[in-house]
Structure 1
Amino acid sequence: MSKDEKKEEQKSSALSRRNFLGMTAGTAAAFTIVPRHVLGGAGYQAPSEMINVAGIGVGAQGGGDIQRISDPDVPIQRPQRTQTGQPFTPEQIAEQEAQQAARMAAMQQQGGQQRQQPPQGFQMPEREPVHLANIYALCDVDSQYAGYIFAGYPKAKIYTDYRRMLDNEKEIDAIVIGTPDHNHAHIAAYAMKMGKHVYCEKPLCKTIYEARKLAEIAKEMDVVTQMGNQGHASEDARLINEWIADGAIGLVREVWCWTNRPTWPQGDIPRPAGVPVPGHIDWDLWLGPAPEKAYNPDICHFVWRGLRDYGTGALGDMGAHIFDHPFWALNLGLPEKIQASSTPYNDEYWPQGEIITYEFSARGYMPPVKLTWVDGGLTAPRPPELEDGRRLPTSGALYFGDKGVLMHSDYGGSPRLIPETAMEAYERPDPWMERSPGIHAEWIEAIKNGKKSSTDFSYSSRLVETMMLGNVAVLMANRNTTLEYDAVNMKFTNLPEADDLLHYEYRKGWAL
């Protein structure tokens, strides 16, 4: 069988399963789906409505995603662990609780940053339901780290290698990816080529080439996709869009985004020395397409974000949660120019702090926009509109329009016009954007009804490409030039050597 014939067979098989689930409007599907009220009353989930989901990389965020689409069969208590995966001591637990209390107190003191309430008479969508899907299989390369999730779903089939799982378990309809960034693209591509729907944690992938490739495969295979930037599904995100479209601050020409990340090691520091690999970890599979390097427990849980082989730094970690909102509300598209500066770094780690400036061209009636991203403890300059005694959020964004200023925290949270008198005087428009039941429920519903999800790969790939262009600019900062980007041809017109950073050479056997 040729490669093309195999692809068509996989696509045909996947479409047949979707027909059973009711994704098409055909007569057969109409008789397949039995309304839940007929079988068991309100809240009953008809078996034929259930999507079989497999989780890949479930020891941390991926495990949380799994629990948000289906309650565990056995109650789960997520272990409190350090960034390197070690259990917290009682003293560390107490410290964490104290820090959380301090953060809550600081939010109360910021004034005017209370969460927005919808206009009077507007019905908020219900909270994200549980039992949206059947957890059919779970896969993780670290059986110890993911053990608490495995225990919560005793009926799920357990695997170490996602390829073997997907090859063996034909009843899987969709997957959730919660692995480190460098494995996202390969897992998503492998699954989509088999006709599986994909929810992938942010950032969608590690390189600009991968972003383009995943969008291409998703379109070709006609699967439902979603990137896990949870704030995109929020009420606050829709308020930001509606207020800007309403002209609340006029035409926006400048935006600042910032984050308090990294909270993990980055900068000009040495990679930890290699140690023997414990028996509960398949280090070769953890590395995936990345260069073959020695194992160390201080890099394989959470703190991998700071290493250039595996993570995408502070921008990759939080850009999808902060950058997303101006990108969406202002319909920015891909930038024409990018310039960056940073603190020292090396071949192993991203820098501790960065300043990245993007220039976007005009879009319809919207003027050109200059967007500046800063991280590593830096924030935007304090705007004169912000009242004395009121602080900028530790992570967030500022939009400067010709009629006012809009501010929000990370994830698009608590949007406000500033000063507060402007917020109080603003007559909000009636809601017009479709509301989301939640990032996970939205994806499952889209699988069932054939609709697009709001941050599918056609959207999220462009957002992530823009973010990763910032990382390229950081690595090219020593050339002392502003990068000029030809988005149509995916290349830099004034510094061709920067094209080498659009992708990297995979380890042998890991072609995308």
Structure 2
Amino acid sequence: MNRRTFLATPAVAAAAATEAVAANDKIGVALIGCGGMGRSDLADFQKQPEVEIRALCDVYRPNAETAAKMLTGKADLYNDYRRILERKDVDAVVVATPDHWHPLIAIQACEAGKDVYVEKPISHNVREGRLMVEAARRHKRVMQVGIQQRSGAHFQRAVAAVKEGRIGKVHFAQCWNHGFSASNKGMGHPEDAPVPEGLDWDLWLGPAPKIPYNPARRNFRAFWDYAGGELTNWCVHLIDIVHWALEVDTPLTVTSSGGKWFYDDCRDCADTQEVIWEYPGNLLVRYSTLVHNSFGPNGHPGNKSFGSYGIMLQGTKGTLFIDRAGYEIIPQMEMHSEKVTQGSREAYDDLNGLGQFFTGLTMAERATTSFQHQPHVRNFVDCLKSREKPVGDIEIGHHSTATCLIGNIALRTGEKLQWDGAKEQFKNSAKANEMLRREYRKPWTLAGL
């Protein structure tokens, strides 16, 4: 069998099992994609007492070897993920590859009877994401998305406060990633180069278009062929909390402005971007990303490793700010006037307003950080045994990813797009609908795409 042939043989299909993992069995886990995020996943999966890491896979051999050094036991090393899917002793896979590989690996893992923990964004395009949901349901697989903030206690507490009405009716939410780069050189414009030893470049590309090796391309989030910039990198995490807290998941319209305005390098994706979504219930949601200035909408100067980032929900009774470090509820202040005071004109001219006082419409609250990633992994492992849906189920991850993907489509088309969430297509743009899927490079195929 050609190593790039679609793995869908009767033998593999027959190996698919839907039974729950017995409580006293070891759960065989394989990591596919051993870069930085993959190794973070590996660290927390190893902490689960019933988990045994049985295989590691990466198209760049040094990545797999680095991950192997983290293991408390031994695991087999591969460069082709399909060899892992053939193994009957692997119950679940962690997919931490570049974004463009997530759908095919996850779907084939479901077909091979494996449960899946897949990093966000779940897909390169909207149609792939829907096919992932369908595969998980059709094969009765547990598929957890790496939207680990849902497992953080302070995120859960803050979301509960919003749902209880503590900040009132929310009509505006904003998320942002604002950073500062002292230089606009970025990745530069490197020439194509020989493929490094230990890297299978053709397999790294997979279903993406065939191009010569270039070192800049391994910064995959900056190129449309593999990802979608900060909008699909960070905003998926942020918009997911907006969806969760406000109980929405499908916008009505989207528009976006920006582009590659700061960096003078070879990237495709925007370094300066704003996206506006309109949701049912008169809700406006905004996302912005900057690299030339780190000051945030919440007034933070951005003197943190991530710069300024976070989520603000602005309601009729108060505002919630939340990020991974904690949250704060700031009451909306309501103005009152003493019975005997200056007239409104004089008070206005005084700027301070003599005889006026302000009271809060809700109670202030503040919380610090909580563990997020490890309990998210724990939730996945528990669901492998219970067969319940995890807190970051694939359907949830699909909606949060798709919302960001259509933001980039709005940017690239320059149109205000009307979104039909039920059909997952645009109502007003044939050009935009063409960008909801893409053709795979042969011989890679994905049924339904």
Q: TM-score, normalised to structure 2's length?
A: 0.81
Q: Is the 8 A contact 2:276 2:284 kept in 1?
A: yes
Q: Which residue of 2 aligns with 1:39?
A: none
- Counterpart in 1 of 2:176? 258
Q: Which residue of 1 aligns with 2:63?
A: 145
| Equivalent position of 1:166 in the other structure | 85
Quick one: structure 1 residues 261 and 307, their matched pair in 2 at CA, closer, same or farther if it must change by over 3 Å?
farther
151-160 or 394-403: bigger deviation: 151-160
Unaligned runs of 5+ in 2: 1-7, 334-358, 366-371
Structure 1 residue aligned with 2:226, among 302, 306, 310?
Answer: 310
Closer, same or farther: CA 7–159 of 1 in aligned 2, 3 Å: closer
Are the aligned partners of 2:223 and 2:268 in contact in 1 as well (CA < 8 Å)?
Answer: yes
Asked if structure 2 preserves the Cα contact closer than 8 Å seen for 1:50 and 1:134, the reply is yes
- Name 1:51's counterpart in structure 2: 27
TM-superposed CA distance for 1:7, in Å, is: 8.2
Q: Which residue of 2 aligns with 1:432?
A: none
Q: Is the CA contact 1:267–1:344 (under 8 Å) kept in the aligned structure 2?
A: no
Q: Does 1:330 align with 2:252?
A: no
Give yes or no for contact 1:406–1:417 (8 Å, CA) kept in 2.
yes
SS at match of 1:371: strand
Question: Deviation per CA, 1:124-179, whole angstroms, max 9, x where unpaired?
Answer: xxxxx533410011111111133221233362111110012212x12110000111
Task: Normalising by structure 1, report the TM-score.
Answer: 0.72
Q: Write out per-residue CA displacement over residues 341-395 of structure 1, whole angstroms, 9 at most, x where no aligned residue.
A: 0034799510111010000112xxxxx2100010024679857xx799x999700
Residue 195 (structure 1) aligned with residue 104 (structure 2)? no
- CA RMSD in angstroms, aligned pairs only: 3.3
Distance 1:265 1:306, change over 3 A: farther
Amino acid at match of 1:142: Y
2:413 equivalent to 1:501: no
2:401 corresponds in structure 1 to 464
Aligned with residue 60 of structure 1, among 22, 32, 36: 36
User: How big is each residue's C-alpha offset from its partner over 1:419-457, in whole Å with a ceiling of 9 and x where there is no partner?
Assistant: 6999997288xxxxxx99711111011001111101110
Alignment check: 8 A CA contact 2:317 2:331 kept: no
Return the letter of the residue paired with 1:353.
T
Q: Percent identity?
A: 28
In the TM superposition, what is the alpha-carbon distance from 1:339 to its structure 2 partner?
Answer: 0.6
Tell me the amino acid that sits aligned with residue 76 of structure 2: K
Match for 2:413 among 452, 476, 497?
476
CA distance in 2, matches of 1:318, 1:196: 27
Residues 157 and 263 (structure 1 numbering): CA distance in 2 closer, same or farther, change over 3 Å?
farther
Q: Offset at 1:469? A: 0.9
User: Could you tell me how far apart the structure 2 residues matched to 1:146 and 1:9 are?
Assistant: 28
427 and 342 in structure 1: CA distance in 2 versus 1, 3 angstrom threshold = closer
The one-character-per-residue Cα deviations of 1:99-122 (angstroms, maximum 9, x if unpaired) are: xxxxxxxxxxxxxxxxxxxxxxxx
| Contact 1:267–1:351 (Cα < 8 Å) also in 2 | no
Worse overlay, 468-477 or 374-383: 374-383
Name the CA distance, whole Å, in 1 between partners of 2:307 and 2:361. 20
- CA distance, structure 2, for counterparts of residue 247 and residue 146 of structure 1: 48
Give the counterpart letter for 1:337 in structure 2.
T
| 1:14 counterpart = 2:16 | yes
Alpha-carbon distance in 2 for matches of 1:316, 1:262 = 19
Contact 1:203 1:464 in 2 (8 A): yes
The amino acid that maps onto 1:376 is L
Q: Cα gap change, 1:323/1:264 in structure 2, threshold over 3 Å: closer, same or farther?
A: farther
* Cα distance change of structure 1 residues 163 and 499 upon mapping to structure 2, 3 Å threshold: same
Q: Residue 240 of structure 1 contacts residue 325 of structure 1 at CA under 8 Å; is this kept in 2?
A: no
Decide which structure has greater helix share.
1
- Contact 1:267 1:350 survives alignment (8 Å): no
**Structure 1: runs of 5+ lacking an equivalent:** 1-5, 23-32, 34-47, 71-128, 363-367, 429-434
1:511 paired residue among 421, 445, 448: 445
Which residue, 346, 352, 360 being the options, matches 2:279? Answer: 360
Q: Counterpart of 2:308 in 1: which secondary structure?
A: coil
Tell me, yes or no, if structure 1 residue 416 matches structure 2 residue 328.
Answer: yes
For 1:327, give the aligned amino acid.
H
Structure 1 residues 371-450: aligned runs within 5 Å: 371-377=285-291, 382=297, 394-409=308-323, 411=324, 413-418=325-330, 426=363, 438-450=375-387
Q: Does the 8 Å contact 2:59/2:199 carry over to 1?
A: yes
Distance 1:331 1:502 in 2: 24
Tell me the number of residue pairs that the alignment of Structure 1 and Structure 2 aligns.
402
Task: Compare 435-444 and 349-358 and name the one that shifted more.
Answer: 435-444
8 Å contact kept, 1:233–1:436: yes
Is 2:185 the partner of 1:183? no
Partner of 2:350: none
Distance 1:266 1:243, change over 3 A: farther
SS in 1 for 2:61: coil
Given that 2:173 and 2:312 are in contact with CA atoms closer than 8 Å, whether structure 1 keeps it comes out as yes
What is the alpha-carbon distance in structure 1 between the residues aligned to residue 180 and residue 427 of structure 2? 31
Larger mean Cα displacement after TM superposition, 487-496 or 49-58: 487-496
Deviation at 1:489, TM superposition (A): 2.0
Q: Displacement, 1:273?
A: 2.1
List per-residue Cα deviations over 1:453-477 (Å, max 9, x = no partner). 0111011111111111111111112
Distance change (3 Å), C-alpha of 1:235 and 1:279: same
Report the alpha carbon displacement of residue 296 of structure 1 after superposing the two structures with TM.
2.3
Q: 1:207 offset after TM fit, Å?
A: 0.6
CA 1:308–1:237: 2 relative to 1, 3 Å? same
* Distance of 2:95 and 2:221 partners within structure 1: 16
Structure number having the greater strand percentage: 2
